[in-house]
Chain A
């Protein structure tokens, strides 16, 4: 069973702080890794994608991938109240092993940024 695990939270941080979100996955064939943000009742919105080991930065967001440890994380610097949402980690096998690219999602971590 391919699983993606996340701490469900809630994770509460003060405005301006760094929020750290973590995710582990079980399928070593996973090739692509994504962080989505989901507001209540809305669809997932892509925040970051990462495909290679190491860090990838985009504005206030940094994704970190460690394939050996099967671990991916998201750091949000200078957290804002508008960042309050559920953050979904998703992985896929892309075109590896016949996969057709379907995403496997974690349950999400609920982040609350307090003003």
Chain B
């Protein structure tokens, strides 16, 4: 069964460094999402992406964040200058169409900012 994949599974970085989290959505899907989950807290929406542009973003997704689909298969989340509070699990999800469609999540990347 097709699945969403994410790399790396774990990332440790120093505060102020840039990180890129990578996702390969399910191949025929059209809508892509990033979520994050700080340890012990709820899963929070960051950004949705459709037709090669951001379609919706949350208040969390500030200028330090960017997303890109560089090659038609990968979907990346970049954090330009990481802060301690960016430490979290980051999940990618994708769906084929909006109406009544289940989002399947990748396994996540655990980001630790020191």
Contact = CB atoms under 8 A, between A and B. Distances in A.
Interface string A27-41: 000011010100001
Interface in A33-64: 34, 36, 41-46, 49, 51
Given A51-B100, A106-B42, A101 B108 contact: no
A102 interface: yes
Contacts of B58: 102
Nearest to A49: B102
Interface stretch (A9-17, A18-26, A71-79, A92-100): A92-100
B109 to A, nearest CB: 10
Interface in B60-114: 89, 91, 93, 95, 98-108, 110
Given A101-B31, A105-B42, A107-B41, A43 B107 contact: yes
| Size category of the binding interface on chain B | 20 to 34
B108 A95 contact: no
User: What 7 pairs across the A-B complex have the smallest Cβ distances?
Assistant: A95-B98, A100-B55, A100-B56, A105-B43, A100-B48, A102-B45, A43-B105
Interface of A: 31-32, 34, 36, 41-46, 49, 51, 88, 90, 94-95, 99-108
Given A41-B110, A102-B56, A103-B35, 11 more contacts: A36-B105, A43-B105, A43-B108, A45-B105, A49-B100, A99-B56, A101-B48, A101-B95, A101-B101, A104-B45, A108-B42
